[in-house]
Amino acid sequence: MILDLAKEGTKNMESSKKLPLFIITGASCVGKSTMAEILFKRETEYIVMESDLLWDDIYNTPEDDYRNYRELWLRLCSIISQIEKPVVLCGCAVPKQLEVCYGRSGFSSIYYLAIVCDDEVLEERICHGRGVTDDNWIKSSIDFNRWLKDNANKTTPNIKLLNNSRLTLEETAEIADTWIRECMKSEKF
């Protein structure tokens, strides 16, 4: 149903203003949500959203890369960007999950930034920072963190990496903000 709505919705976006979309991704506990909160509180030139906001188990479809959830977010971000401010969407995603979506046509470009860190730093954040004890959850997060570091230059488009192992959250937010602004300058809107 949502895929049908997404496909139909893209027809209505053809005459809409197309701005870039910024995806900030990373493994659980890497610091992307806290960093996004810092950007959200101080930024006025773009809108920052956290993708977990709309999560519901009905979207738990790993067999199709969570397609309906991706379509929902792309459509929402495209509508929000009609106020002529680009959206920065923070959550776990990779280009192959978004670039194939019908909603992709609502944007001039999609830029990807992955917050990553050293494995031992991530494990410390997971186990001691959040108190997670589920070995499968820990392994999954560490595996995704490694995948991002190993494959960022192999995706289309490429994912820019930001290693925050030795950075504060404020420093991470400052670097992300600079990246977003540099990408915005390359767009004509």
Where residue 9 falls among pLDDT bands split at 50, 70, 90? Answer: low
Could you tell me if residue 53 is inside a domain? yes
- Domain assignment present for 15: no
Q: Is residue 77 part of a domain?
A: yes
pLDDT tens per residue across span 38-58: 999 998 999 999 999 999 999
Residue 19 lies in a domain: no
**Confidence category of residue 10, pLDDT binned at 50, 70, 90:** low
Q: What is the mean pLDDT of residues 61-72?
A: 96
Is residue 34 included in any domain, yes or no? yes
Average pLDDT on 125-144 reads 86
Report, as an integer, the average pLDDT of 25-31: 93
125 has pLDDT over 80:
yes
Q: What is the predicted pLDDT for the residue at 128?
A: 77
Distance of CA 11 to the CA centre of its chain: 24
Task: Measure the CA–CA gap between 120 and 162, rounded to whole angstroms.
Answer: 16
Host domain of residue 132: 2-7+27-186
Q: What would the 3-class secondary structure string for the chain be?
A: CHHHHHHHHHHHCCCCCCEEEEEEEECCCCCHHHHHHHHHHHCCCCEEEEHHHHCCHHHCCHHHCCHHHHHHHHHHHHHHHHHCCCEEEECCCCHHHHCCCHHHHHEEEEEEEEEECCHHHHHHHHHHHCCCCCHHHHHHHHHHHHHHHHHHHHCCCCEEEEECCCCCHHHHHHHHHHHHHHHHHHCCC
Is 13 within a domain?
no
pLDDT of residue 181 exceeding 80: yes
Number of domains in the chain: 1
CB 162 within 8 A of CB 168: no
- What digits encode the pLDDT tens for the residues 74-113? 999 999 999 999 999 999 999 999 999 999 999 999 999 9
Tell me how far the alpha carbon of residue 134 is from its chain's centroid: 24
pLDDT at residue 3 in the model: 60
Residue 22 in domain: no
Residue 5 in this model has a pLDDT that exceeds 70: no
Q: Given a cut of 70, is residue 189 above it in pLDDT? A: no
Going by their DSSP bridges, the two strands 87-90 and 19-26 should be labelled as parallel
Cα 4 to chain center, whole Å? 23
CATH code (residue 90): 3.40.50.300
* Domain membership flag for residue 14: no
